[in-house]
Amino acid sequence: MEFETYSLARVVHVIAVILWIGGVAMVTTVIIPAVKKLKSKEDQIKTFEEIEGKFSLQAKITTLLTGLSGFYMLFELDAWSRYLDYRFWWIHAMTLVWILFTLVLYVLEPLVLHKLFRNYAESNPVKTFRIMHRAHWILLLLSLITTAGAVAGSHGWYWFK
Ligand code: HEM
């Protein structure tokens, strides 16, 4: 195994995860609560779309880098059989979180969610932002549990025997 390239993949993986999940944390704990407090629904929709729109491009890039570096590490370690071992639940969790975000960012948001958000936010902004805030919290918590499991697991602490 080429040690330098493997280590580089790990560095890219962790930096991409920091930027990506850190951004999700910022949107969830700071930006959506601030947008909810804006007076008019026009301001709420416009501000949210501008900020999330910019973050969406960053998230697309960092998600892609996380996936490429992650699958490269699995390939170098020849560790595909981990998918068959429940002690490596954190490998399943990483893959699941990655698939969820890839689907949302590359498929659902551009095709469905964007229009859906606009229509619902126009007619019922309070409920729309509440549902969206909740969805962000769920994805953030799932990502944090995954990150904790991945750091512990890749250093030999599996949590399950
Ligand atoms: C398709 C998606 C992904 C694949 C294939 C993948 C694969 C991997 C692999 C093979 C490792 C090294 C394991 C080891 O050394 O035994 C790793 C480490 C790690 N991954 Fe992922 N990963 C993916 C997505 C994610 C996501 C979405 C997150 C965070 C939410 C994440 C966070 C981490 C962390 C924190 C580490 C540990 C780094 C360290 O402590 O050095 N990964 N990943």
> How much distance in Å is there from the Cα of 45 to the middle of ligand 1?
34
Quick check: is 29 in a domain?
yes
Q: Give me the pLDDT at residue 160, please.
A: 83
pLDDT tens-digit series, residues 99-156: 999 999 999 999 999 999 999 999 999 999 999 999 999 999 999 999 999 999 999 9
Quick check: is 52 in a domain?
yes
Mutate to test the pocket of ligand 1, among 18, 80, 89, 94 (most ligand atoms within 8 A of CB): 94
Q: Residue 66: pLDDT above 70?
A: yes
Q: Give me the pLDDT at residue 76, please.
A: 95
Quick check: is 159 in a domain?
no
Which single residue is written with the structure tokens 């969610």?
113
How high does pLDDT run on average in the chain?
96
Q: Give me the pLDDT at residue 82, please.
A: 98
Quick check: is 34 in a domain?
yes
Quick check: is 156 in a domain?
no
Q: Are 99 and 66 in contact (CB under 8 A)?
A: no
Residue range 68-73: mean pLDDT, rounded: 98
Which residues, in sequence order, are CB contacts of 106 under 8 Å at separation 6+?
A: 60
> How much distance in Å is there from the Cα of 49 to the middle of ligand 1?
30
Q: How confident is the model at residue 157 (pLDDT cuts 50, 70, 90)?
A: very high
Dist. CA 81–CA 74, nearest whole Å: 10
Phi, psi of 38 (to 5 degrees): -60, 150
**DSSP designation for 157:** -
Q: 9-12, long-range: CB within 8 Å, 24+ apart, which pairs?
A: 9/69, 9/72, 9/73, 9/76, 10/69, 10/73, 12/65, 12/68, 12/69
Domain of 96? 3-150
Q: Give me the pLDDT at residue 53, please.
A: 92
